[in-house]
Structure formats: structure tokens, C-alpha cells
Structure 1
Amino acid sequence: MTQLQYFSKDLTKMLGKYKIRILHVWMSRVFWGIFMYRFERSLFLVFKKYYPILRVPFIPLFYMIQMYSNVDIHYKASIKGGLLVLHPACGVVISGQSVIGENLLLTGGNFIGLKKRAENGNFSIGDNCYMGANATLIGPLIIGNNVKIGASACVTKSFEADNIVLAGVPAKVM
């Protein structure tokens, strides 16, 4: 799928069941944060190794939109469609080495990052995952599909099983 198709799926999640919300969703922080990520990711995929140089003149614009949205998703992060951030005022940070499946739901105040450099595929989150408020993932680690991470949980090791709930510091299966 292309980034445009992924963004379409993101937008569908933002709208929910009331499609008329399109009239005001485009002004929301979530829209601009995810739009900037998808836009930058598209450019990165087109220009590959030259993109970090080509983006230099546009960095002030990117930072202004990032300040408005409170969503900092690195353009090297690979995120499939259906990304939704419910409360971006608390901030969201996603590392460039992340590989994330479909339908990730972030409540706000979330951090998905690394304590050391990850090998290819060593920092991934499965499909249909949920992160509660202020939940943190510190990788490299692998999270399975349909995993719910409780509020303020700190996940520091892999949980590759599907359909589990993680909570606590450090996170444990509940």
C-alpha cells in the first residue's frame, strides 16, 4: 500500500462513524501530525538517501507543524494504515526504527523509542495494538498482535504473544 492509501485509512479512523466530521477534522492536531508523517514518509520513500538533504529548507515548516500537533513521528518509521492519536496535547514520539502494523491506537503521552540501535525487524509492534495514556515502549523489542498496553506502563522486553494485556513498570502480562 502507498502512504496515500495508509493516510486514507488513518483519516477514516479519525472520522469514526460520523463522516460529516471531515468539516472540522482537517483543523485538528491529530490530522496535521499524521499528515506530516505520511507526507515526509512519502518523500523519503521516493528520494531515499537524498531526502535528509532535500528536507533541510523545509525543516522550519515541519517543526512548526510538529509544535502545533505535538506528534513527532520520524519519517523512517514504517507505520501501516489506521494510526490514531486520541489526545495529542500530551505528546507522541515514535522512533525512526519502528515497524508498526495496522490500527495502532495511541491515547496520548506515548513514547515508542530505543535505548540502543536495533537490527532490522528487532523493533516492531503488531496489528490492532492499543497504548494507554503515557504508556512507553523502550526497545529493541517485539510486540504481538492485538496487545493492549495499560496507562503508564513501561514495556522494556518483547511480548510476542497475541491477545494479551500488559500493565505495570516494568510491564507484565495481566
Structure 2
Amino acid sequence: MWDQLSKFKYDIIRLTGKNRLRILILVFNRSFWAIFVYRLERGMYLTFGNAYSILRILFLPILRLLEVYTNAEINYKAEIGKGILILHSALGIVISGYAQIGDDLTLTGGNVIGSKDAGKFGDILLGNNCFLGANAVILGPLQLADNIKIGASACVVKSCLNDGAALGGVPAREITG
């Protein structure tokens, strides 16, 4: 639980940017609440293990209302490093419980990180400092290296292990030049 709190502190630092006074209006930000709910649920899951799946039933009405408000569905089983930044959650965000994501993930909105078929935890691996453009989709199982930038409306269905690559198109391919 403490690990998730320290990651949440870093998430808030990324959300506020250079203007630290933004923390005063942060509580009205949908992205803040989406990340807060994920970190809280993840901490509970790490504390109680699979028993949290049953305990969670008590909180479902509140969780569903927050999901509707934030327009983000981030599965508590997904492992996301510190510094997740959601720029426009009103467009919708979905992250599968099969995902393992590094630090400093940036989502611009309308993003889906999911699986093509029933899978297992770790089927979707994203490195550190990845950026997803508006409406970009990642469908695993696949692995992406560090510093990957995915263009708007791209659909990534194959692994890319080149650090710093830019991906675009449907299906997404590495963009050079």
C-alpha cells in the first residue's frame, strides 16, 4: 500500500507540472480521480491479494460512479509504474489487468491498452516513458521498449523492441525519418 502512495505522490507531481499551485484545483480534475482510484485499488489488491476481488464487491457502486465520472477504467491488476499522466480522460481510457507498464506513461485520451484474446498477466509489456497519442490502441500480447511514441489513432498489434521508436498507422509500423 505504501508503495502505491509513493507512486501516487509522483503521479501528482506529473499532473501539476511546473505550476505547483495547480494542486489546489487538482481535486476537480478527472485524471486525478482516475489515478487515485487505480492507486487505491492496486494498494488494496497488493495488501489483500485475491481476496480483494470479493471485498471489492462492497465498493462497486462507488467505484462504478467514479468510473463514469473519470471515463477511465484502469484494472487494479495492471502493474503501472510511477508517473502515469492522463491528459484528457474525457475521451476514455481502458487499461487491461494483463498489462505491465513502466514509469512515466503518458496517455492523451481515447486510449486502450488491452488484449486481443484471453491472456495472462504480463502479456502486455510497456517500457518506461511511453507516450500514446489520441485514440491510440495497443492490443497484446506484445512488448514495447522504452521511450516509445505512438501516433494518434495508431493500432499497435506487434512488438517493437527499438528504444525511442515512433509508431504510427493501422496496423502500426515504425516510422523513420
TM-score tier after normalising by the smaller chain length: over 0.9
Amino acid at match of 1:58: F
1:31-85: per-residue Cα shift (whole Å, max 9, x none)?
A: 0000000000000000001001001011000000110001110000000000001
Maintained 8 Å contact 2:99/2:121: no
Return the offset for 1:120.
4.7
After TM superposition, the structure 1 = structure 2 runs for residues 2-17 of structure 1, keeping only pairs within 5 Å, are 2-17=3-18
1:103-149: per-residue Cα shift (whole Å, max 9, x none)?
A: 00000000000012334533110000000000000001000000000
Amino acid at match of 1:32: W
Amino acid at match of 1:128: N
Amino acid at match of 2:138: L
Cross-structure match for 2:24: 23
Amino acid at match of 1:52: S
Gaps (5+ residues) in structure 1?
none
Cross-structure match for 1:45: 46
Taking the aligned partners of 2:169 and 2:15, their CA distance within structure 1 comes to 29
Taking the aligned partners of 1:74 and 1:7, their CA distance within structure 2 comes to 16
Cross-structure match for 1:71: 72
Amino acid at match of 1:91: G
Maintained 8 Å contact 1:117/1:140: no
Taking the aligned partners of 2:120 and 2:87, their CA distance within structure 1 comes to 30
Instruction: Pick closer, same or farther for the CA change 1:63–1:119 going to 2, 3 Å.
Output: closer
The DSSP-based 3-state class of the residue aligned with 2:25 is helix
Maintained 8 Å contact 1:113/1:139: yes
The DSSP-based 3-state class of the residue aligned with 1:2 is helix
After TM superposition, the structure 1 = structure 2 runs for residues 1-174 of structure 1, keeping only pairs within 5 Å, are 2-174=3-175
Maintained 8 Å contact 2:126/2:143: yes
Gaps (5+ residues) in structure 2?
none
Taking the aligned partners of 1:51 and 1:109, their CA distance within structure 2 comes to 28
The DSSP-based 3-state class of the residue aligned with 2:147 is coil
The DSSP-based 3-state class of the residue aligned with 2:129 is coil
The DSSP-based 3-state class of the residue aligned with 2:40 is helix
Taking the aligned partners of 2:125 and 2:162, their CA distance within structure 1 comes to 13
**Across the two proteins, how many residue pairs are aligned to each other?**
174
Give percent identity, aligned residues only: 47
TM-score, length-normalised on structure 2?
0.96
